A and B are shown apart, each in its own frame.
Chain A
């Protein structure tokens, strides 16, 4: 038996998180006339077509010029607009880091940086496009909020939520179709960890595509009598340290899983929080200081160990079983 909250263990459909963003953007466009959309020649990939077609006067094609896009977006906040920029995660962060740093983060501009095709699950395009360092770069910037939702519905909700939050936000999502497992009626609150499962033996904290893997791993572990708290840390910054520490105090063991380099990601944030508040033995499921490569998303997740199977093995290792 496993103790679940707001999720189904037998999802009936799979959808891409980027489509959740596209749907959310369309909805927020209807809700708030100040919302603008900017895209650097990836409107289809970012699923921004519906927003563009519904609000042609509020959509700005920027062309293949991401640095300019970030600057224009920053300027558009002056006058009260809420610009949402859209491009791949690689081009949303590393390519334009200085623009984000000076014109958006330091200047506290209300820009929503929306980044698709993050991580290995971008797939066949290979390592040039598979950014695995973006969470680290973005969370280091003062004033920046970093959000990594777990499924279609949550990405839709996160898109609505960040429009309500005043300040720069990095919203990271992905390309492949993944199970839609979170109950749409589950409350989504920025900065608040979502408990997906409860157990007393182990805490598994995950974000993005790895939340579903963590849930599958927890189901497997339960068969061996290991019961896990599964925390969906959709907001990496600010980190919900209170919920995290409470879980660590209960279970005494924390495993973090993410589609990101081990250095600088969610695991680092959690280790830093726990080491000062409740030092806890930890294990990490992440990319180990490597670049990715071409392959299908499923092949890559397996090869680089970002899977339920790896979580199970590392969890047992952490618990000494």
Chain B
């Protein structure tokens, strides 16, 4: 899929996100909009997957873990548009008896989800376990994970970071959504993350940076990471994004971390996001 096609999808996914969150008047649009381009890139271009026959073990497939589970709207939209489940199921997001729980879960059996996430800081450990099993099973596939920058304040992330380099896990590619925002304000105000590049390097990881809204740049870091399989060094990408990307009044502020747009705001947002494919 070329960059134009990916962009077309990303715009439609952003429409899905604001419509889903508006419909139930809850959810997390800011980070979802910010990570849309990465998830579209992974699911429609990078990953070797089998959406039609979802299998929990994912043998012979690449696997993606969303550690910052609150940005479930973007994941659900991308999974549905990639064919994991019917598009119209997006209408049930966060509603009673839905498979699309507020935070991703396996209990209702939604295809594409392999573990619950939402309580932050756990997903890197999980991704590493899955990556090690791929190595044990002699699979050439990759494990991808996504984490919020605020999530790096959780201690378990750094336990996992230490573990990854010690055990030479080199079939994992982790992305950090560096939008500089969290619920109470900017990360600098709430709990400074300091020199993130230096921190990851000190924990033994190869660190790359990229523009999270450029498919070309995302493709560049992914392709470079793939060349380092066998090095025994895990790779992390500090991905610069704008929270709320694509909707001008949501961009760059923590205020849209976890609230829903009003009817008027929805209209405003959708006017900025042309329907490129069919709405769900």
Q: Which residues of A contact B (CB under 8 A)?
A: 57-58, 60, 62-63, 65, 67-81, 83, 98-99, 101-103, 106-109
Contact = CB atoms under 8 A, between A and B. Distances in A.
Nearest to B139: A79
Nearest to B161: A68
Interface in B64-99: 65
Interface in B160-175: 160, 162-163, 166-167
A76 B163 CA distance: 14
Contacts of A62: 163
B117 A102 contact: yes
Given A60-B132, A71-B122, A72-B126, A79 B57 contact: yes
Contacts of A60: 132, 167
Interface string B205-234: 000000000000000000000000000000
Contacts of B133: 75-76, 78-81
B132 A71 contact: no
Given A73-B129, A79-B58, A79-B130, A103 B160 contact: no
A79 B155 contact: no
A39 to B, nearest CB: 13
8 contacts: A68-B156, A72-B128, A74-B129, A76-B133, A81-B133, A102-B118, A106-B107, A107-B116
B159 A67 contact: yes
Contacts of B147: none
Contacts, number: 115
Contact of A78 (B107, B124, B130, B163): B130
A108 B167 CA distance: 26
B130 A63 contact: no
Closest 9 pairs (CB-CB, A-B) = A75-B129, A71-B125, A79-B133, A68-B159, A65-B159, A75-B126, A72-B129, A76-B129, A75-B130
Interface residues of B, number: 39
A68 B162 CA distance: 10
A63 B114 CA distance: 26
A78 B63 contact: yes
A149 B156 CA distance: 31
A57 B132 CA distance: 11
Nearest to B125: A71
B122 A76 contact: no
B199 interface: no
Given A81-B133, A102-B118, A75 B166 contact: no
Contacts of A79: 57-59, 130, 133-134, 136-137
| A-side interface mostly | helix
Contacts of B159: 63, 65, 67-68
B38 interface: no
Contacts of B128: 71-72, 75
A108 B105 CA distance: 10
B266 interface: no
Contacts of B239: none
Nearest to B143: A75
A67 B156 contact: yes
Given A78-B133, A98-B119, A102-B118, A63 B162 contact: yes
A127 B87 CA distance: 54
Contacts of A107: 105-107, 115-116
Nearest to B137: A79
Given A78-B130, A107-B116, A71 B56 contact: no
A155 B262 CA distance: 59
Given A60-B167, A68-B163, A81 B136 contact: yes
Interface string B6-50: 000000000000000000000000000000000000000000000
Nearest to A98: B119
Given A75-B115, A102-B118, A109-B115, A67 B129 contact: no
Given A57-B136, A99-B122, A103-B125, 12 more contacts: A58-B136, A63-B163, A67-B159, A71-B122, A71-B128, A72-B128, A72-B132, A74-B126, A75-B115, A75-B127, A76-B133, A107-B116
A70 B159 CA distance: 11
Contact of A70 (B59, B105, B118, B125): B125
Nearest to B107: A106
B144 to A, nearest CB: 13
A81 B132 CA distance: 11
B56 A78 contact: yes
